Amino acid sequence: MVHSWRVADGKVTHFEDLHDTHDVRRIVEPSGSPRRAPLDSPGQIIEAGLGFWSARVLQTAVELGLFTELAAGPLEAEQLRARLGLHGRGLRDFLDTLVSLGLLEREDGRYRNLPSTDTFLDRAKTDSYIGGLLEVASQQWYEPWGRLSEALRSGEPQDNVNGGMGDPFEALYADPERTRLFQRAMTGGSTGSIAAIIDKIPWSRYRTVADIGCAEGALISRLLRRHGHLTGTGFDLAAVAPYFDETATETGVGDRMSFQPGDFFTDPLPQADVIVLGHTLHDWDLDTKRMLLRKAYEALPEGGRVVVYEALIDDERRHNTFALLMSLHMLVESPGGFDYTGADCLGWMAEAGFRDCYVEHLAGPESMAVGTK
């Protein structure tokens, strides 16, 4: 079963999208975060400037496995101290901060998960866990973001571990542990969009799908479990293969999903009825973005579709704060990457030859741009 979720009234519920809007021919703006109200007091400005405090509390809770420990039931602070191997000093402040942030509940001295944190931050719930992204943020992204001013002065990435001005993935995938962590992060960051894509594309019209930059295969596996007539190919660097194969085995659709190792700079893309580029274009400069869309066009049959999804910046560049921050993240992490608006992407698709292009919101700050050959 492929899962979609909505959190409302303190409950996490499964839901199905009711509208098949594949025939839309207009831009539907990514909703993302609404434009924030102006910060008009010293307290608000200071709180915004110290926002990393809250981020570090959440990242640390995930890294410690706190939400996974609480998935079995409520625990007192002392019980959590013993189970997580903590000192004790500052623990009540840490736990009560999580309560104040709306991430835990406390009753009669015992702490418990909220429905949302129980669903999305318990490592054992592999279909819904999004904490991998926060683990990577804690271990790999936090320090480079401390050099944002230098990135703005120099225009150069600040994550030397991931290759500096070279190929960030070559350095990243040289370390198996960092590779595994990154695969989990990509799955966590894609969970909401994958759930939406499964229903928003008219899959009954197609037989094959290829995911370019597939990571551990979350999109392909969940798509194939929902749509039994599909077969799927994951295309990524060879170092990713073991993690993709694990997913194929664990999800029971290994007979319909396969991994094709390759480098999209030098190799053609696999042929398929639908080609998906998820969280891929923003890693690269404009020339590479255009090149990938041209290669997708060449690999598709007449009537085939390309689906590009990530945090698309709203066309006014003032509402989708997450997408704008993601583009700054590309500055910090990559030699030439940047995020872009839906209108930008539709223009590049048209240049590559695609027709009937449109943008549609998926989940949270993310949207998809779709074009037909």
Instruction: Note whether 307 and 359 are within 8 A (CB).
Output: no
Dihedral-angle region of residue 104 (phi above 0 means left; psi in -120 to 50 means alpha; beta otherwise)? beta
Active-site entry in 227, 282, 329, 361: 282
Cα–Cα dist 253/222, whole Å: 9
SS (H, E, C) 287-333: HHHHHHHHHHHHHCCCCCEEEEEECCECCCCCCCHHHHHHHHHHHHH
Neighbours of 309 (CB within 10 A): 26
* Interior angle at CA 60, CA 54 and CA 66, nearest 5: 115
282 annotated active-site = yes
Which are the catalytic amino acids?
282
